[in-house]
Each structure stands twice: as structure tokens, then as C-alpha cells.
Structure 1
């Protein structure tokens, strides 16, 4: 993965679901969410004139970073999932898919980039990191239509 180009690509196309300046979130070792205010974050030798991509690279030496690729919202009774990303989608889910994913109601999905690497995991975070238990949750890779759609969206945002 070309980290700089992936970050630029996500930031340039995220207006449907996130503020470009808030599209990245620090994720601690225990997967609890840290700050998403990367432009005002000044730890880890970040300097005021560092651009967004350089800030992320510096943070990745010490922390995992989550990059938002969209938002998911589940609609009970009709077993649908609305996906807001570069393009918006509505998926009709089977009952088992809906039961598997819908307990969260609304989540942000994207990639967790592991610290000191370009390796990433597809997963979700809470909409707001202000809850004490706000966290990253990995989406288990499987053959469901829901996972395939999330994976497709993520794959289109990552630059190799």
C-alpha cells in the first residue's frame, strides 16, 4: 500500500461521510480510540508545518491509525444496511447477516493501519470517540454480501 497516496485519496473523497481533517483516528494497543484531531495533535515530534500525511507517518511509529472509508447504518425490520462512502449503497441483508452486524446500529468503517507498517485490517469504529469504551472492531473476513461490499469499497480507496 502506498500510504501517502491512500491517505490523499481517502481525504479527497470523504466529504459524504467525514470531514477530511477528521478522517484519521489514533487507535491504541487495546483498540480503544484516541484523538482524531490530527492537525492539532503535537506529540511524536510532529511539527506545525507537517502536512497531514507526514503527521500520520510520524504517529504510525507509535500508534495504530484508523482511516475512515465510510459509514454504515442498519435498518431493523427490513434487514437493510445503508452504506455511505464515496458512493452510497443500500444492501438487503439475510437475517443471519443482519443479526451478525446490526447490533452496532451505526459505525464508521475503514482500515486500521498497524503501527510501524503498511499492513492494515478492515474494521469499524464508533461514530464518536468520546465514549470511554469507543473502540476499533475488526470485521471478520467472510463470503457475505455485506463484507464483500465493504471490502470492495476499501479496495477502491487504497492505492498500491
Structure 2
């Protein structure tokens, strides 16, 4: 994965679900959320004139970084899920899918890039990192439509 180009690609199209300067969040090794204020980050040799992508690349040498690719919310009773990303989607879920995923309520989804690598995993974070227990949650890979839709959205934004 070309991390720099992927970040540029995500930031160019993220206005529907997140501020472009808050698209990246530091995720600690225990999966709890750190800062998403990348432009004010001063550790790891970051210089004031470093652009957003360069800052993230420097942070990635020491920390895991989550890139937000969209947001989802579940609608009970009718078993639907609204997904907000580059495009908006409305999915009708099976009982199995709704039971598996709906307990998450509203979440930001995307990829967690593991520190000092370009390996990533699909998962989600809390909408707000201000809670003491705000964290990243890895999504189990399944053949269910909900997971496949998130995977497709993510694949369209990653540059190789």
C-alpha cells in the first residue's frame, strides 16, 4: 500500500463524514484511542512545515494510525444500516447481520495501519475519542453483505 497516496485519496473525499484534518487517529498498542490532532503533533521529529501525509508517516514509525473511511449507524426494527463515506449507502441487513453488528450503534470505520509497516486491518472506532474507554475494534472478516460493503468501500480508497 502506498500510505501517502492513500491518505491523500481519503482526505480528498472525506467531507461527508469527517473533517479532512481529523481523518487520522493515533491508536495505542492496547487499541485505545490517542490524539487525532495530527497538525498539532510535535513528537517523532515532526517539523512545523511537514504536510499532513509526512506527519503521519513520521508518526507511523512509532504508533499505530487509524484512517477514517466512513461512518455507519444502525436502524432497529427495520434492520437497516446507513453508511456515510465517499457515497451514502443504505443496506437492508439480514437478522444474522443485524444481530452481529448492530450492537455497535454509530461508529467510524476504516483501516488501522500497524506501526512501522504498511500492514492494515479493517475495523472501527468510537465517534469521539474523548471518552476514557474510546477504542479501536477490529472487524471479523465475514462473507456477510455488511462486511463486504465496507471492504469494497475501503478497497476503492486504498492506493497500491
With the shorter chain as reference, the TM-score category is over 0.9
- Give 1:55-94 correspondences, 5 Å limit: 55-94=55-94
- Give 1:68-147 correspondences, 5 Å limit: 68-147=68-147
Q: How far off is 1:104 after superposition?
A: 1.5
Deviations 1:109-144 (A, max 9, x none): 000000000000000000000001000001111100
Structure 2, unmatched stretches of 5+, are none
The DSSP-based 3-state class of the residue aligned with 1:57 is helix
Aligned twin of 1:40: 40
Counterparts of 2:102 and 2:128, CA distance in 1 = 17
Counterparts of 1:96 and 1:45, CA distance in 2 = 47
Larger mean CA deviation between 37-46 and 145-154 belongs to 37-46
Q: How far off is 1:7 after superposition?
A: 0.3
The DSSP-based 3-state class of the residue aligned with 1:96 is helix
Q: How far off is 1:45 after superposition?
A: 1.2
Aligned twin of 1:159: 159
The DSSP-based 3-state class of the residue aligned with 2:82 is strand
The alignment yields a C-alpha RMSD, in angstroms, of 0.5
The DSSP-based 3-state class of the residue aligned with 2:81 is strand
Structure 1, unmatched stretches of 5+, are none
In the comparison of the two structures, how many residue pairs are matched? 160
Counterparts of 1:86 and 1:128, CA distance in 2 = 20
Counterparts of 2:88 and 2:18, CA distance in 1 = 13
Counterparts of 1:34 and 1:72, CA distance in 2 = 21
Deviations 1:36-67 (A, max 9, x none): 00001111111110000110011001100000
Counterparts of 1:127 and 1:135, CA distance in 2 = 10
The DSSP-based 3-state class of the residue aligned with 1:153 is helix
The DSSP-based 3-state class of the residue aligned with 1:146 is helix
TM-score normalised by L of structure 1: 0.99
